[in-house]
Amino acid sequence: MTFEELGLEPNTLKAIAEMGYTTPTPIQEQAIGLIQMGRDVMGIAQTGTGKTASYTLPMIDILSNGRARARMPRSLILAPTRELAAQVSENFEQYGKYHKLSMALLIGGESFGDQERALDRGVDVLIATPGRMMDLFGRGRILLSDVKVLVIDEADRMLDMGFIPDVEKILGWLPPLRQTLLFSATMAPEIKRLADKFLSNPKLVSVAPPASPAELVTQGIVVVEARAKRDALRGLLKSQDVANAFIFCNRKRDVAVVYRSLERHGFSAGQLHGDMPQSMRTETLDAFRKGDIKMLVCSDVAARGLDIADVSHVFNFDVPSHAEDYVHRIGRTGRAGREGCAFTIATPEDGRYVAAIQKLIGRDIPLIHLDGTETLPLKDGDVAPSGRNRGGRGRSPKAKTKPEVRNEPKTETGIEAPVKSQTEAETKPEITVAPAAKAEPRARTERSPSPRSAERETSGRRNGRKGRTPQPADEIEEMQHGDNVLAFGDHTPSFLLRDPFAK
């Protein structure tokens, strides 16, 4: 089946073609037609199946007729996290680029003022997290009586996060005559109850989970000092039969650093980051698609929305500080039934982030070590309080990672990986580690990122363009730079902040 056969508008088709999508995914094949017909839909589909486009594409067509009135959105999308909400709005921007739909994103971390001004002008699409929606409605700033289409995305996560009572309240404010689309990865009894209560004669569409990382992607993690990360990356690249690879960095500027390092060492590499002009971005992507460039160093933002099906490897040069980014990153390999490999380079300080990832994916990432290298332990720590991890708003439990060096058999990836029994994996997540590889010669341009600053960068992006308001604890922090640091960089030493005249 093609997108044309689904009967989408020419302008929507044009935007889809520009995204590089050639065929609809199974959820899109099933859901788009039903949504166009105005049916309520209960979609059982996980992230990675193309579920977001399965509702945004027909919604764009539906909403392209008609006009929004001030403070009365014509459609409402509820998403459990601001990251998902932001992703949905990106989808609307990308697929709706040839339509004139207006949109507002109502999420924490953005100023109420901007969002309210957008609403005052009238929006076709309002994307919100339940909490923010409750706030705004409670203050009488919005009317929901004109909402014709409601989407509840990732309902199972809303359930995990305790948002269902809020969602039910919001549903009570909507007009009964509307189209409702409910998406969830699972049909938990509570989700079924919600569907029975709020959907009218819904059509159930269900697709298999996307190639789960556990099944198709061989994962591994090495732990080295920050200054040895580039060395570790080269070690990994050489140990692998890499057809092509995405190499993810947490920070934009490290994309350039890693890219230059790879080039200097003779690897076929390109880079992709948010500041590149579109023409250069397109050129780089074409070269990567054609195989002229084998490795693409990129940031999460730059890689978002890229659709390249055949990628043999993903390397995380940094452990993402938001566990879900890990899933998105490694989901770039092992696509369409193919096998893939995803390797992560961690520093000992990344313990809590690794623990958060393992918690999210529900399994240990095997520790690997590169030949002839010393292993380092990951430090224990609290799971990142990002609020994005499955399990809720609060702080997650302490990481249980426990360093251990073992004799490990070879895996088919050519890297040594520990073999864990089921019991071990369940009870004692172990992070064995990797090469205390020789650091590269010091270079002015090559500064390894500190985990804290990497977190800062990601948080800034996640919290919207304006970035996160710095917390006192962020402003004065322990220096964690490698010994190749040449300046203070982002760090302000505490003695500079102290008032010399204070008693």
Residues in contact with ligand AMP by CB under 6 A are 21, 24-25, 28, 47-53, 305, 307
Least distance to ligand AMP from the beta carbon of 180, Å?
A: 19
Burial class (CB within 10 angstroms; exposed 0-12, middle 13-18, buried 19+) of 118: middle
Token pair for 225: 């000092």
Least distance to ligand AMP from the beta carbon of 249, Å?
A: 19
- Nearest residue (beta carbon) to ligand AMP: 52
181: left (phi over 0), alpha (psi -120 to 50) or beta: beta
For ligand AMP, the closer CB: 187 or 476: 187
Least distance to ligand AMP from the beta carbon of 51, Å?
A: 5
Least distance to ligand AMP from the beta carbon of 84, Å?
A: 9
Note whether 145 and 175 are within 8 A (CB).
yes
For ligand AMP, the closer CB: 91 or 244: 91
Least distance to ligand AMP from the beta carbon of 415, Å?
A: 28
Least distance to ligand AMP from the beta carbon of 200, Å?
A: 25
75 - beta bridge partners?
125, 149
Alpha-carbon distances, residue 389 vs 55, 87, 179, 204 (angstroms): 24, 16, 30, 28
For ligand AMP, the closer CB: 48 or 274: 48
Find the helix packing angle between 164-172 and 130-138, rounded to 10°.
40
Q: Which residues contact 281 (CB under 8 A, 6 or more apart)?
A: 272, 302
For ligand AMP, the closer CB: 25 or 250: 25
For ligand AMP, the closer CB: 21 or 98: 21
For ligand AMP, the closer CB: 220 or 331: 331
In this structure, the dihedral spanned by the alpha carbons of residues 242, 246, 249 and 252, taken in order and rounded to 10 degrees, is 130
Place of tokens 């569907």: 195
Neighbour count for residue 324 (Cβ, 10 Å): 20
Least distance to ligand AMP from the beta carbon of 427, Å?
A: 33
> Amino acid identity of 427?
T
For ligand AMP, the closer CB: 31 or 367: 31
For ligand AMP, the closer CB: 305 or 392: 305
Neighbour count for residue 7 (Cβ, 10 Å): 12
Note whether 185 and 45 are within 8 A (CB).
yes
Place of tokens 């890499």: 242
Least distance to ligand AMP from the beta carbon of 20, Å?
A: 7
For ligand AMP, the closer CB: 17 or 70: 17
d(CA 236, CA 240): 6
For ligand AMP, the closer CB: 282 or 492: 282
Note whether 403 and 364 are within 8 A (CB).
no
Least distance to ligand AMP from the beta carbon of 462, Å?
A: 16
Least distance to ligand AMP from the beta carbon of 161, Å?
A: 18
Token pair for 162: 């305790």
For ligand AMP, the closer CB: 28 or 413: 28
184 - beta bridge partners?
44
Q: Which residues contact 473 (CB under 8 A, 6 or more apart)?
A: none
Note whether 374 and 235 are within 8 A (CB).
no
Token pair for 152: 């509840």
Note whether 43 and 54 are within 8 A (CB).
yes
> Amino acid identity of 372?
G
Least distance to ligand AMP from the beta carbon of 148, Å?
A: 22
At 93 the three-state DSSP class reads: helix
